[in-house]
Amino acid sequence: MNDCTEAQCGDGVLHAGVEACDDGNTVDGDGCNATCQLEPGEVEPNDDAMTAQEVAATRLLDASINVAGDENWFEVNVAAGERLTVFTQQGARDQCSVPDTVVAVFDSMGTELARDQGDGPGFCSLVDPSDFGTIVRPDVRTSSGRLK
C-alpha cells in the first residue's frame, strides 16, 4: 500500500494508528467491530483445557499471550460440515512480529488433531481444514495458543 491510499475499515488491511483490527468486514459481534476496534474477547483464567473459554466458531477473538509459557485455551463447537481455521495475528491477519507462537487443535477427548508453530505467513501460526486431513470431525475442539 502506498501513502496515497486512504484507510478504510473493512478492507482487510490494518492501518496502523487508525484501526486496532481489520477482519475484512464491518460487522459487529465477530471480534472486530464495524469501526475496526477490538471487541471484548478473552476471559481469564483460560490457561488449560479445564478452564477453556467457550467461543463461537465464527468469532475473531482478541486474546493476549503476555509471557513465555503463557497458554490460552478456547473451546469451539464445530458442527457437521463446518470447517475450523485457527490462527495467530497481531493486528491484521498475516501480521505477526512476535516469532514462535504455537496453535494446536484437539478433539473433545484430548487427542491432538493439528499443530503449527509459526509456519503461517510472517511468523503467524495457522491451522486450517487442510491440516486435519480429509475428515473433519463434528465435535468440540479445544485450541491453545502459546508463546514459547
Report the largest interatomic distance among the alpha carbons of the chain, rounded to a whole angstrom: 52
Distance CA 146, CA 148 (A): 6
Distance CA 80, CA 42 (A): 26
Please give the grid coordinates belonging to residue 145. Answer: 495458543
Model pLDDT, residue 129 = 77
In a domain, 44, yes or no: no
The answer to whether residues 32 and 54 belong to one domain is: no
Q: What is the mean pLDDT of each run of 10 residues along the chain (148 residues)?
A: 71 84 85 85 83 77 74 82 78 65 83 83 79 45 42
The answer to whether residues 2 and 31 belong to one domain is: yes
Model pLDDT, residue 135 = 38
Closest CA to 74 of 90, 104, 50, 52: 52
Closest CA to 71 of 50, 55, 93: 50
In a domain, 111, yes or no: yes
- Residue corresponding to grid cell 497481531: 90
The answer to whether residues 26 and 90 belong to one domain is: no
The answer to whether residues 95 and 57 belong to one domain is: yes
Confidence (pTM): 0.63
Model pLDDT, residue 10 = 92
Model pLDDT, residue 22 = 85
The answer to whether residues 136 and 65 belong to one domain is: yes
* CATH code at position 140: 2.60.120
